[in-house]
């Protein structure tokens, strides 16, 4: 068995079990960390597919930024897990039905190709030496998908505007520092030098 | 697969040897970096620094390591044991893993991958996990405060840092570190520090903030929260954190040398007289020299500046650095489009 | 890609640039002078309309032209819908300014978010590939989620925004899932290519039908038709009236365009499949929307249910899959947006001293307080009910005719029966205004521009009805009928 295949199975196994752990462990911090593990394994599998750009960006964006902030929030919240668990049992039947439906659909779609053998899903030819995945993606993004790329940028801008519009507000009686004012402060505004005669020595 | 298992095994062994060849000197450098720090800051403060163990205190780092290793690792009673132990490893691993793509000269690099710069960004961004987990798993208020501070700080400064790198890759046209260095050929004035001066400054300062070094060391701020995220750590576990922090500083210095100061290239390239000698040739010595120079800057700043206030750190990152870098990325694009900076001239 | 191609998207670029300019201009404009922002937004709309009308591609004798590698299309249908979006958004801005001033919410965010939503609507109208459709949809939705929670002090608003967001994301997920299946079956995201692949029988029909089901569910969620309508009443009620006004009028245009592009341009060959699904959705919407509206005492909720039934009519126009049907449907959506803008304009007009006039009782005796306003509201209600001579009648008539032509008899019959049922609650408003005693004698006053626009809005209900031919002709010719 070639090494790539071993690597694939190891990482898939880690990914699937981490995915299961995300929804089954009791501690939400553990859940978040297992999600990070799942991201890592999927990045590794992407590397096997020679999609190095996607793999690295997955780590950079999801692991490095999104999950850090997520963990940040989870750690600061005092989540009481008991009520959450009650919901888990109560909604489990519905969840199972949805899961079975989804799985059935996926299987149907795959079976509609005929079977699971590699004839129906041939291995794509390996990329030529010197092929840069990153460059190819970049070229596509800035030509064929320029409009989509720009629109995605606008969506992110709107997300920023929306987040700020919904949270930035001036409350009454709020205390705020203005660094520009702090820097501009003059000595006279803070310190008053008082001329005092020396007091006569006691007991003379 | 035409290769046999045996070929693959040999390949792996060679790879491991390469890794050892990078990691062992790195650890030694960390050890002597701590010595350098104490000496440099000592002299800056009119003291002598360590001078008892060995000639001029040269064996001091080994004594320190020995001391740390012999101490007991205290596991706090209410700590999350598993994560508490895992955290130092998580912070050390990315600090070492990043060195895989660093080119020491035009052929000395473990993995010459195309998306090297992205890989570096990814590695530096996951370094924060060690800190967060350490703070949380310690189950201590000081540690948690420290980890929250450093987490917010690192996430914020990564953005400015990322944009600074975008400027570099616009001018070099590549994400590969070797090609980035080669794009800077032509002597001192052709290195990217000049056309990208604002980005260079922002990058170095963000590097300070990323590594939680003074004057951005609020994550450990002794006078406010004792020692921040590693307050509960002792002995070898603490030593690992220490190692990670210094490895990261060396990494940032090396990166600054590669991205903005021409990597292994010589500043005298093509000059009269020296241009043809050993001094004019690019070599690993130039790379090491530049790295040590930037490492020295870290220490110099620590001895010079008082600690920033936390809200001002955030303000500096978001309201000053991010706009500057965004603006200069546009300028760099103009340079590149109108051919004002020519690659590898 | 050449520049002439990109110029097809000139209206979109203009709106994007102006939205960003307004965003930055806000930093330099003091609070008292924020009227400037309003003027800037109006100028944006006027010039966007001018740029759209120029439509250079038409002069070259083309019926449509694509840009950005086929992911963007300009055609007469898109142009007409965009022009009406600009026009109705202009009306919305005049009403909203009055409302926002009164409720101390006159912030620039409203204008930037609505302009970005408009950009999303324009993108959606001109979308010619699955990616563009999805991105346009997200841009519109994201802006409207934030707008619903625009009144940050209001708990109802936040709750509505939350519900809207969760259900909206779910719908987006459904849509994406469907899109991924269709992409998997046809190997393309371009609607034209998808259409070719399907007619060549290249695609796998099993995957296609599964994809179609998910697409229709996502679409139904976004349009708010039964049984995916749960969010509409809560959102309409919870959002500030100015925002409800916006949501009820502008995104519907995009919803129609999206349905047309996806179902007809892309999946036209699956017509029999989606006709069945849509006809069930249409009937359910018309029945449930009209019945539930009768039980409401809150006029915003009542209008929400009436929207659901109107959406049913719009779907009905799509069913035959003919140019006549699409034309009728488009006519309906434009007319509906105008009516809805007018109705919410009246709610804003009656809101006073920080209290929204959202109860039906607030309309009691309006005739005694101000005869002209009562007359305007009466015209809007008659139009919504589909009383002849008013424009709403022609819209309903065309749609039902299209359904009859396609042989959908039972659908047409139930539509007629339930519009008669629906007439009850519209006429109840008129009864309240003319035959009941007012609860308050306080005079109603509004600025000049508000009065002018609402009068125009009301008269359009009558005018477009009496001279109905021209707008119908425009809509029909957009589809080459």
Give pLDDT, residue A198: 85
For residue A105, list chain C residues with Cβ-Cβ distance below 8 A.
Answer: 210
Residue C387's φ and ψ, nearest 5 degrees, are -80, 135
Give dist(CA A45, CA C443) in Å, integer.
71
CB C461 within 8 A of CB C382: yes
**B contact test, residue of A33, A56, A123, A139 with most B CBs within 10 A:** A56
Mean pLDDT of A152-176: 85
Q: Inspect the interface and report whether the beta carbons of B118 and A133 lie closer than 8 Å.
A: no
Residue C157 confidence (pLDDT) above 50: yes
Three-state DSSP class for residue C359: strand
Give dist(CA A106, CA A97) in Å, integer.
14
Give dist(CA A55, CA B119) in Å, integer.
9
Residues 6+ apart with CB under 8 A from C425: C290, C293, C294, C296, C302, C306
Give pLDDT, residue B202: 92
Q: What is the residue extent of each domain of chain C?
A: 3-478
Give dist(CA C172, CA C124) in Å, integer.
14
Q: Inspect the interface and report whether the beta carbons of A165 and C204 lie closer than 8 Å.
A: no
Subunits in contact with chain A (3 or more CB pairs closer than 8 Å): B, C
Give dist(CA C225, CA C286) in Å, integer.
9
Give pLDDT, residue C4: 59
Give dist(CA B103, CA B109) in Å, integer.
5
Give pLDDT, residue C1: 45
CA angle C431, C433, C437 (to 5 degrees): 100
Any idea which residue has 């049992």 for tokens? A89
B80 or C427: which leads in pLDDT: C427
Q: What dihedral angle (degrees, nearest 10) is formed by the CA atoms of C395, C396, C402, C406?
A: 160
Mean pLDDT of chain C: 88
CA atoms within 13 A on the CB side of C470: 4
Helices and strands counted in chain A (H then E)? 9, 0
Which residues does chain B have with pLDDT short of 70? 1-3, 221-223, 270, 274-276, 343-345
Q: Does A65 touch chain B (CB under 8 A)?
A: yes
Residue C434 confidence (pLDDT) above 80: yes
- Please name the residues between 92 and 131 in chain A that touch chain C, using a CB distance below 8 Å: 105, 108-109, 112-113
Q: At C267, which helix (H) or strand (E)?
A: none
Q: How many CB atoms lie under 10 A from the CB of residue A7?
A: 14
pLDDT tens per residue, range C436-470: 888 877 778 888 889 999 999 999 888 888 888 88
Give pLDDT, residue C453: 92
User: Nearest CB to C146: which of A109, A147, A162?
Assistant: A162
Q: Inspect the interface and report whether the beta carbons of A155 and C142 lie closer than 8 Å.
A: yes
C306 or B79: which leads in pLDDT: C306
User: Nearest CB to C146: which of A109, A112, A165?
Assistant: A165
Q: Inspect the interface and report whether the beta carbons of C146 and A161 lie closer than 8 Å.
A: yes
Distance in Å, alpha carbon of C74 to nearest chain A alpha carbon: 14
Spell out the alpha helix ranges (H) of B74-221: 81-97, 116-126, 128-137, 141-172, 177-182, 197-210
Crossing angle, helix C448-466 and helix C323-350, to 10 degrees? Answer: 150
A17-21, A195-199, B265-269, B312-316: which is most confident: A17-21
Give pLDDT, residue C229: 87
> Per 3-state DSSP, what percentage of chain B is helix, strand, and coil (rounded to 5)?
70, 0, 30
The tokens describing C138, both together, are 């997200």
CATH of segment(s) A1-79: 1.20.120.1200
Burial C205-221 (b: 16+ CB within 10 A, else e): ebbbebbbbbbbbbbbb
Mean pLDDT of A32-53: 88
Distance in Å, alpha carbon of A30 to nearest chain C alpha carbon: 25
Confidence of residue C56 (pLDDT cuts 50, 70, 90): low
DSSP conformation letters of C280-349: HHHHHHHHHHHHHHHT--BHHHHHHHHHHHHHHHHHHHHTT-SHHHHHHHHHHHHHHHHHHHHHHHHHHH
Strand C65-67 relative to strand C72-74: parallel, antiparallel, unpaired?
Answer: antiparallel
Distance in Å, alpha carbon of C328 to nearest chain A alpha carbon: 31
DSSP conformation letters of B36-98: HHHHHHHHHTT---S-SSSGGGTTHHHHHHHHHHHSPPP--TTS-HHHHHHHHHHHHHHHHHG
For residue A137, list chain B residues with Cβ-Cβ distance below 8 A.
Answer: none
Give dist(CA C373, CA C10) in Å, integer.
39
Three-state DSSP class for residue C58: helix
CB B30 within 8 A of CB B246: yes
Mean pLDDT of A103-117: 70
For residue A169, list chain C residues with Cβ-Cβ distance below 8 A.
Answer: 152
Residue C365 confidence (pLDDT) above 90: no
Output DSSP code: residue A200.
P
For residue C139, list chain A residues with Cβ-Cβ distance below 8 A.
Answer: 151, 154-155, 158
Q: Picking from A125-129, B288-292, C288-292, which range would have the lowest pLDDT averaged per residue?
A: A125-129
Q: Inspect the interface and report whether the beta carbons of B155 and A69 lie closer than 8 Å.
A: yes
DSSP conformation letters of B10-22: HHHHHHHHHHHHH
User: Nearest CB to C112: which of A108, A148, A161?
Assistant: A161
Q: Inspect the interface and report whether the beta carbons of C204 and A159 lie closer than 8 Å.
A: no
Give pLDDT, residue C59: 63
User: Nearest CB to C132: which of A147, A166, A169?
Assistant: A147
Give pLDDT, residue B128: 84
Spell out the alpha helix ranges (H) of C29-66: 35-54, 56-59
User: What is the separation of C-alpha C278 from the centre of its chain, rounded to a whole number of angstroms?
Assistant: 18
For residue A112, list chain C residues with Cβ-Cβ distance below 8 A.
Answer: 204, 206-207
B189 or C405: which leads in pLDDT: C405
pLDDT tens per residue, range C167-181: 999 899 989 989 988
Confidence of residue C147 (pLDDT cuts 50, 70, 90): very high
Give pLDDT, residue C304: 92
Mean pLDDT of C122-146: 92
């Amino acid at each position: 068995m070639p090494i790539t295949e071993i690597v694939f199975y190891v990482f898939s196994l880690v990914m699937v079990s981490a995915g299961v752990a995300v929804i089954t462990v009791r501690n939400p911090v553990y859940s978040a960390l297992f999600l990070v593990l799942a991201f890592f394994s999927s990045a590794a599998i992407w590397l096997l597919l020679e999609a190095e750009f996607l793999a690295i960006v997955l780590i950079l964006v999801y692991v490095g930024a999104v999950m850090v902030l997520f963990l940040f929030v989870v750690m600061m919240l005092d989540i009481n897990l008991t009520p959450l668990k009650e919901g888990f049992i109560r909604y489990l039947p519905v969840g199972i039905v949805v899961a079975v439906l989804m799985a059935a659909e996926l299987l149907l779609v795959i079976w509609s190709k005929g079977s699971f053998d590699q004839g129906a899903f041939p291995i794509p030819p390996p990329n030529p030496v010197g092929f840069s995945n990153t460059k190819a993606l970049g070229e596509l993004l800035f030509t064929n998908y320029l409009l989509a790329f720009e629109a995605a940028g606008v969506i992110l801008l709107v997300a920023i505007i929306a987040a700020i519009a919904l949270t930035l507000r001036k409350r009454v009686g709020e205390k705020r520092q203005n660094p520009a004012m702090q820097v501009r402060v003059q000595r006279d505004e803070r310190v008053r030098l008082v001329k005092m005669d020396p007091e006569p020595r006691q007991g003379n | 697969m035409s290769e046999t298992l045996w070929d693959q095994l040999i390949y792996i062994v060679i790879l491991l040897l390469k890794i050892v060849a990078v990691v062992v000197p790195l650890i030694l450098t960390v050890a002597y970096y701590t010595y350098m720090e104490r000496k440099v800051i000592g002299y800056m403060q009119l003291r002598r620094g360590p001078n008892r163990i060995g000639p001029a205190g040269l064996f001091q780092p080994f004594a320190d390591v020995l001391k740390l290793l012999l101490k007991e690792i205290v596991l706090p009673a209410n700590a999350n044991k598993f994560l508490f132990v895992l955290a130092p490893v998580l912070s050390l691993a990315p600090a070492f893993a990043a060195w895989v793509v660093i080119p020491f000269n035009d052929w000395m690099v473990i993995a010459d991958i195309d998306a090297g710069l992205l890989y570096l960004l990814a590695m530096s961004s996951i370094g924060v996990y060690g800190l967060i987990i350490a703070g949380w798993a310690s189950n201590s208020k000081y540690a948690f405060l420290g980890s929250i501070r450093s987490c917010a700080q690192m996430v914020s400064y990564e953005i400015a840092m990322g944009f600074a790198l975008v400027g570099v890759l616009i001018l070099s046209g590549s994400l590969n570190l070797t090609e980035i260095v080669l794009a800077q050929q032509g002597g001192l004035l052709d290195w990217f520090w000049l056309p990208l001066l604002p980005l260079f400054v922002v990058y170095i300062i963000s590097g300070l903030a990323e590594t939680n070094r003074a004057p951005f060391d609020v994550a450990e701020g002794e006078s406010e929260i004792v020692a921040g995220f590693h307050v509960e750590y002792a002995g070898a576990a603490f030593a690992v954190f220490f190692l990670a922090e210094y490895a990261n500083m060396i990494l940032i210095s090396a990166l600054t040398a590669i991205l903005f100061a021409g990597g292994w290239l010589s500043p005298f390239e093509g000059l009269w007289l020296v241009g043809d000698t050993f001094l004019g040739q690019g070599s690993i010595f130039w790379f090491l020299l530049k790295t040590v120079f930037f490492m020295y800057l870290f220490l110099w700043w620590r001895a010079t500046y008082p600690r920033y206030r936390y809200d001002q750190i955030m303000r500096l990152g978001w309201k000053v650095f991010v706009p500057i870098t965004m603006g200069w990325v546009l300028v760099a694009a103009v340079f590149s489009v109108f051919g004002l900076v020519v690659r590898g001239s | 890609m050449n520049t002439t191609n990109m110029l097809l998207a000139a209206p979109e670029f203009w709106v994007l640039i102006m939205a960003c300019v307004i965003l930055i201009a806000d930093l330099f404009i003091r609070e008292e002078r924020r009227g400037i922002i309003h003027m800037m937004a109006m100028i944006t709309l006027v010039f966007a309309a001018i740029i759209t009308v120029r439509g250079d591609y038409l002069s070259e004798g083309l019926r449509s032209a694509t840009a950005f590698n086929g992911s963007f299309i300009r055609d007469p249908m898109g142009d007409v819908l965009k022009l009406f979006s600009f026009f109705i958004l202009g009306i919305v801005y005049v009403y909203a300014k009055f409302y926002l001033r009164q409720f101390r919410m006159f912030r620039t965010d409203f204008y930037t978010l609505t302009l970005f939503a408009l950009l999303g609507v324009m993108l959606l109208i001109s979308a010619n590939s699955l990616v563009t459709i999805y991105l346009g949809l997200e841009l519109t939705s994201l802006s409207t989620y934030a707008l619903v929670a625009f009144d940050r002090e209001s708990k109802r608003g936040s709750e509505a925004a939350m519900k809207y967001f969760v259900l909206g994301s779910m719908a987006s997920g459904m849509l994406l899932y469907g899109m991924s299946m269709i992409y998997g079956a046809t190997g393309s995201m371009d609607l034209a290519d998808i259409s070719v692949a399907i007619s060549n029988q290249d695609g796998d029909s099993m995957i296609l039908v599964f994809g179609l089901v998910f697409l229709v569910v996502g679409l139904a969620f976004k349009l708010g038709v039964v049984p995916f309508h749960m969010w509409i009443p809560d959102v309409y009620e919870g959002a500030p009236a100015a925002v409800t006004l916006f949501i009820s009028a502008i995104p519907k245009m995009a919803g129609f365009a999206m349905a047309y592009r996806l179902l007809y341009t892309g999946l036209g060959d699956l017509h029999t499949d989606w006709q069945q699904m849509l006809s069930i959705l249409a009937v359910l919407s018309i029945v449930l929307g009209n019945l539930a509206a009768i039980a409401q005492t809150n006029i915003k909720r009542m209008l929400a249910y009436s929207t659901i039934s109107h959406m049913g009519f719009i779907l009905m126009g799509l069913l035959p899959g003919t140019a006549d049907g699409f034309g009728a449907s488009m006519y309906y959506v434009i007319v509906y947006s105008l009516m809805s803008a007018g109705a919410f304009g009246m709610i804003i007009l009656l809101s006073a001293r920080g209290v929204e006039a959202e109860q039906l009782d607030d309309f009691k005796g309006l005739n005694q307080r101000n005869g002209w306003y009562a007359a305007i509201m009466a015209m809007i209600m008659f139009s919504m009910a589909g009383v002849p001579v008013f424009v709403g009648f022609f819209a309903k008539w065309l749609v039902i005719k299209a359904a009859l032509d396609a042989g959908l008899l039972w659908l047409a019959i139930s539509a007629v029966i339930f519009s008669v049922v629906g007439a009850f609650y519209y006429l109840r408003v008129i009864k309240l205004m003319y035959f009941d005693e007012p609860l308050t004698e306080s005079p109603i006053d509004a600025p000049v521009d508000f009065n002018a626009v609402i009068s125009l809005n009301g008269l359009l209900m009558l005018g477009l009805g009496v001279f109905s031919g021209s707008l119908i002709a425009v809509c029909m010719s957009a589809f080459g009928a």
